């Protein structure tokens, strides 16, 4: 896990899956005591996680793609892994129990589709599908979970148009975080939890204008 503290914002990069990410994330939430908790999920995914994993009588339900299962299996080499991400689920429970507002950082399904169609073409889709199949057969030889998800992400987005799509998603995420923090200016800080593989790009986009340094 990595953390950068900016004015009004604590940006946490967590690997999805490892149970070991839970305690450090909860410690950051307790330390910051935010008014809002932002999660790098779509509004639809946020609702699904709330309904199936944070409600006391919820029936757990998790639909995963084959390459997501393959990634989880690779991550298990570094410790216990659960799906969906226990760090995300526990952060949502923390916010719900304390009456904090939960906000989805990613675009909704319609916005995501438009963004995807804007950047991705047929050949890009074919290359991405091939990359996913190759990763399932031969995952990266990484020294730890953090490096693994970064290498995995780089292979998925090796195609130029796919990289442009990824960069646009990260840029939009940074813009939305700025807007949320501006709304909370002068109040409690905001805590945003993003996937580890996106943390560096998003934190750089946020911190460079203010000249802040990462931990």
pLDDT value at 57 more than 80: no
* Averaged pLDDT, 55-63: 49
Could you tell me if 180 and 103 are in contact, meaning their C-beta atoms sit under 8 angstroms apart? yes
Predicted pLDDT at 209: 54
Of residues 66 and 54, more confidence is placed in 66
pLDDT range class, residue 213, cuts 50, 70, 90:
very low
Q: Could you tell me which residues are beta bridge partners of residue 12?
A: 3, 193
Tokens of 119: 């950047």
Distance CA 7, CA 181 (A): 9
pLDDT of residue 10: 96
In the predicted model, what is the mean pLDDT of residues 36-42? Answer: 95
**Cβ-based neighbour number of residue 26 at 10 Å:** 15
Per-residue pLDDT, averaged over 15-38, amounts to: 96
Burial of 115 (0-12, 13-18, 19+ CB in 10 A): middle
Lowest mean pLDDT among 31-35, 56-60, 155-159, 163-167: 56-60
| Gap between the Cα atoms of 44 and 205, Å rounded | 26
Confidence bin at 176 (pLDDT 50/70/90): very high
pLDDT higher at 23 or 211 = 23
Are the C-beta atoms of 75 and 15 separated by less than 8 Å?
yes
Q: How far is CA 171 from the centre of its chain?
A: 14
Tokens of 174: 């940074």
Looking at residue 211, what is its pLDDT? 42
Name the average pLDDT for the chain.
Answer: 88
Contact 189, 31 (CB under 8 A): no
Confidence category of residue 68, pLDDT binned at 50, 70, 90: confident
- Quote the radius of gyration of the chain (alpha carbons, Å): 17
φ, ψ for residue 194, nearest 5 deg: -120, 160
129-167 confidence digits (pLDDT tens): 899 889 988 999 999 999 999 999 999 999 999 999 999
pLDDT tops 50 at residue 215:
no
Find the range with the poorest average confidence among 9-13, 32-36, 56-60, 126-130: 56-60
């Amino acid at each position: 896990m990595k953390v950068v503290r900016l004015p009004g914002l604590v940006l946490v990069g967590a690997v999805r899956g490892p149970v070991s990410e839970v305690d450090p994330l909860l410690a950051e939430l307790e330390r910051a005591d935010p008014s809002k908790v932002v999660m790098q999920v779509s509004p639809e995914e946020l609702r699904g996680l709330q309904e199936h994993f944070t409600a006391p009588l919820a029936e757990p339900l998790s639909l995963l793609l084959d390459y997501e299962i393959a990634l989880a299996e690779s991550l298990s080499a570094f410790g216990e892994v659960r799906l969906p991400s226990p760090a995300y689920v526990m952060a949502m429970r923390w916010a719900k129990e304390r009456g904090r507002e939960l906000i989805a950082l990613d675009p909704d399904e319609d916005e995501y589709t438009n963004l995807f169609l804007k950047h991705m073409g047929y050949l890009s889709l074919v290359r991405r599908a091939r990359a996913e199949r190759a990763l399932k057969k031969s995952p990266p030889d990484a020294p730890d979970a953090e490096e693994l998800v970064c290498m995995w992400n780089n292979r998925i987005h090796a195609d130029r148009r796919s990289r442009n799509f990824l960069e646009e998603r990260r840029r939009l995420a940074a813009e939305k975080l700025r807007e949320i923090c501006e709304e909370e200016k002068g109040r409690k800080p905001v805590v945003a939890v993003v996937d580890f593989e996106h943390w560096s790009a998003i934190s750089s986009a946020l911190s460079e204008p203010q000249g802040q340094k990462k931990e």
